[in-house]
Structure 1
Amino acid sequence: MQVLEQSIVVFSQNYLPLCRVNIKRAIVLLVTNKAEPLGLTAEKGWQVHSPSMVIDVPKHIRLKIASRERMWKVPPVNRREVLRRDHHSCQYCGSSKRLTLDHVMPRSKGGSHTWDNVVTACDRCNSRKGDRTLFEAGMQLRIKPKAPAHPAISFAEQFWIDVQANLE
C-alpha cells in the first residue's frame, strides 16, 4: 500500500481516540504544530520526503489544540436511520429483501415509536408477527434495539477492540 493512502488515528487532548485521518491531513496537523506524535506503540510510522524536508509521521497523533466538540443529537426514529442501525437486514430472520419497520411492542398494546421499540423486519416476518408481542408470536430478535451511539464513542470502542486483538 502506498504511503499517502495510509490512515492515522487522531486522539484528543484527553487521549480519547477521535477518528482516522489520511496521512496528508496528519502531516498538516503536525507541521502546523496542532498535533504531536503519540508514542502509543513501539510500531514506527512512515517517513514522507518532500523537496526540502523529511517528516516522520507516526501511526497515532494527539491534538494539542482544544477541539470544540460539535453538538450531536440522537437522530430521529425514521426509516432511513433504523435501516442504517440494523444494517439493512431483518432483525428476525436476517433477510435483506423487502424490508419494513416493525414495532416490537405493537402501538395498539402501548408500544411507542422509539429507538428501543422499532426494528427492521422483512415483509414475511412482519406479517407473521402481526399485531402481537414477540412472546405471543413465538419470535426472537437477533439484536436488542437501541438508540445510535455518538460517533466518537463508536469509533473509540472499535479502536480499543482492534488494539486488544493486536495484543493477543
Structure 2
Amino acid sequence: MEKRVLVLNLDHSPVAVVSPQKAIVLLLLEKANCLSVYDLLQIRTVSRSFAYPAVICLNHYKNIPYRGVLLNRVNLFRRDRGECQYCGSKKQLTIDHVVPRSKGGKSNWTNLTTACHRCNVLKGDKTPEQVGLTMQTKPFKPSLAYFLSEYAERQAEEWLPFLNGKVENLKFEV
C-alpha cells in the first residue's frame, strides 16, 4: 500500500493529503520543502533516488476556504468505528435517528448513529431511553482533524507532530 503525504500551508496548517508522486513534483519545482520523511522508504527512478516524503510545507501561503466534513454514510460509519452504538455488533449495520424523524429528529451529525439491524428494529419509532437502550458514545460532529489523526495513528506516525493545530480545510487527493 502506498503511503500518503501530508501537505502543510506556509503557517504549518494542513491543507491536503497527496500521493508521493505529487509531493515529489512539488519538491522538484521548489514549491514546497520536505519537513519529514518515512524511514527506510525511498522513491527510485532510473537515475535517481529520493527520500520518501511524509510531510511537506508549501513555500507560499494558499488561502483555502472553509469546508466542513460531509455528512454521508461512509463518514458516519467511520466516526462510529463500524459498530452498533447500542450493542457493539459489527454486522448488518444501518443508520439510526436517535430522535426519530417522526418525533422531530433531524438528519444531522448529533442525531444520526450506526445501529445493527436488530437494535434498530427494537428501537423502532422511539428514543433509546424509551426502549431501555444505552448508547456507547454520544453522536458528535467530527472534524477533519479527527479523521486525519485516526489515519496518522494507523499509518503515518510521522504526521503526528504536525497535527496539533486545526485541520478544518484539509483536502484529500486521490
TM range (shorter): 0.5 to 0.7
Which residue pairs with 2:13 in the alignment?
16
Tell me which residue corresponds to 1:130.
124
**Residue of structure 2 aligned with 1:62, choices 29, 42, 57:** 57
Amino acid paired to 2:25 = V
Please state how far the C-alpha of 1:122 moved relative to its aligned partner: 1.7
Q: Structure 2: how far apart are the matches of 1:79 and 1:36? A: 36
The normalised TM-score by structure 1 is 0.66
Please, which runs of 5 or more residues in structure 2 have no aligned partner? 162-174
Residues matched between the structures, number = 156
Structure of higher CA gyration radius: 1
The alpha-carbon deviation at position 33 of structure 1 amounts to: 0.8
**For residues 50 and 146 of structure 1, do their structure 2 counterparts lie closer, same or farther at Cα, with a shift above 3 Å needed?**
same
* Larger RCO (CA within 8 A; separation ≥ 6): 2
Distance across 2 between alignment mates of 1:60 and 1:74: 22
1:9–1:59 CA contact under 8 A, matched in 2: yes
Given that 2:94 and 2:116 are in contact with CA atoms closer than 8 Å, whether structure 1 keeps it comes out as yes
What is the TM-score of this pair, normalised by structure 2? 0.64
Give the CA deviation at 1:128. Answer: 1.9
Task: Tell me the CA shift for residue 20 of structure 1.
Answer: 4.3
Whole-angstrom CA distance in 1 between matches of 2:135 and 2:96? 11
Gaps of 5+ in 1: none
Following superposition, the deviation at residue 10 of structure 1 comes to: 2.5
In 1: Cα distance, 2:49 partner to 2:73 partner: 50
Q: SS in structure 2 opposite 1:100? A: strand
Q: Is 1:30–2:27 an aligned residue pair?
A: yes
Note the alpha carbon deviations across 1:26-67, whole angstroms, 9 max, x for none: 2211110100132x69x798585663x665565432111233
Kindly report which structure 2 residues correspond to 1:49-88, keeping only aligned pairs within 5 A, or say none: 51=47, 59-69=54-64, 71-76=66-71, 79=73, 82-88=76-82
